[in-house]
Amino acid sequence: MMQQPEIASKPIITLTLNPTIDLAFQSREIRPIRKTRAVKQSTDAGGGGINVARVLKELGVEAYAIYLAGGATGLVLKELIAELELPGRCIDIAGSTRISFAVFEEISGLEYRFVSEGSALVEAEWQSALSQPKELDADYIVGSGSLPPGVPVDFDARLTAIAQSKGARLILDTSGPALQAAASAGSIYLAKPSLGEFETLTHRKFESAEELADAATSFVAGGGVENLAVTMGRDGALLSFRSGLLRLRGLKVKPVSAVGAGDSFVAGMTAALVGGKMWRTHSCSAWPLPSCPQATNCAGGRMSSASMRRWWPSVRMCSQPSAVKAGSLFRNCWSAWWRYLYVAVAHYQSLLGLAG
């Protein structure tokens, strides 16, 4: 079983190179050409590391968010982050902060998401972002979110080297060439691609759980990533580490939105690591699955801690790594702590009719 980390006493540093202002609406029906009337508008600060820091704060874990912002939209982003009372540091850039938006169509139950690529950064801007973790004392650094134009593909690999030099553990949520470059550099403590991102990375289409498990095991065996968590939406997630595999099934809920689900997963995993409660060594091994894109945003509503706890009885843990390859059912493992982390995904978002 993997080595248990010490309980962290320092803030978790999160780094967001490409933050966004997240707009969310609901509409009865989306049709071309005609005006689409939208209701229940919400405006939130978004972007990988910012979302992670937000959920960590709700879970009682201290976080420090480093992010970039610029233009008139950058001022709005700063105001939104100030409202969250998140400690952090903003690096000003010449370009404008991007805006992303999602529209939930009521008659179909589908969500439409529009995500811009963001303004290009000049070298001085991304170098400034890279230098920030060097100046801060941390046990964990979380790099989450896309790389904007102008940033070299090996940025996360450089961040990996910085974390290693500081003796910090790097938790990385990225994809494609950026993840490949970082894995080649080595020393990633935890990487979290989605199933689709992992398929792109490995140039494979997985037809079974066994194929996914084999690929995840091989990827970890390569040495660049110590722990690999592959999120699979409604099908749960798979964790591969140096001595085994674990899998957890997803909650059965009505899909509403996927906005921020992966970031909430990273926050839940990080919170468990900080609490020293990850990958226990006894027969009922368990780990949190706070990634359930079905448990998500409803025009900006957020699930309260009380609502999170309503999900506890629905959470099922797996305890036998071999069961992943055998394809058998996983034994349940009941722990209020793990259940709480599991439904932490819903903090950034909300289930329709469940928030409150």
| SS3 assignment, position 233 | helix
Question: Is residue 107, in this structure, part of any structural domain at all?
Answer: yes
Question: Is residue 260, in this structure, part of any structural domain at all?
Answer: yes
Question: Is residue 4, in this structure, part of any structural domain at all?
Answer: no
Q: What pTM was computed for the model?
A: 0.81
Q: How confident is the model at residue 244, as a pLDDT?
A: 84
Mean pLDDT on 16-34? 94
Which residue has better confidence, 349 or 274? 274
CB atoms within 10 A of CB 291: 29
How far apart are the C-alpha atoms of 349 and 356, rounded to whole Å? 12
Domain, as residue range, for 162:
12-348
Which residue has better confidence, 271 or 171? 171
Question: Is residue 44, in this structure, part of any structural domain at all?
Answer: yes
- In the predicted structure, residue 201 carries a pLDDT above the cut 50: yes
Of 13-22, 37-46, 234-243, 254-263, the range with the lowest mean pLDDT is 254-263
Question: Is residue 275, in this structure, part of any structural domain at all?
Answer: yes
Contact 235, 206 (CB under 8 A): no
- In the predicted structure, residue 76 carries a pLDDT above the cut 50: yes
Residue listed under structure tokens 């970031």 = 263
Of 47-51, 201-205, 296-300, the range with the lowest mean pLDDT is 296-300
**Residue 313 banded pLDDT, cuts 50, 70, 90:** low
Integer CA distances (angstroms), 204 to 200, 244, 329, in order: 7, 22, 25
CATH code of 252's domain: 3.40.1190.20
CA quadruple 212, 215, 216, 217: dihedral, nearest 10: 120
CB atoms within 10 A of CB 214: 16
How far apart are the C-alpha atoms of 115 and 146, rounded to whole Å? 11
Q: Which percentage of the chain shows pLDDT scores above 70?
A: 72
Looking at 22, 139, 173, 263, which residue is catalytic? Answer: 263
DSSP assignments along 193-216, one per residue: -BHHHHHHHHT----SHHHHHHHH
Question: Is residue 353, in this structure, part of any structural domain at all?
Answer: no
Identify whether 263 is a catalytic site residue: yes
Question: Is residue 56, in this structure, part of any structural domain at all?
Answer: yes
Question: Is residue 6, in this structure, part of any structural domain at all?
Answer: no
**Residue 286 banded pLDDT, cuts 50, 70, 90:** very low
- What is the tens place of the pLDDT at every residue in 216-273? 999 999 989 999 999 887 788 888 988 888 887 776 666 666 777 788 889 888 888 7
Total domain count, the chain: 1
Q: How confident is the model at residue 219, as a pLDDT?
A: 93
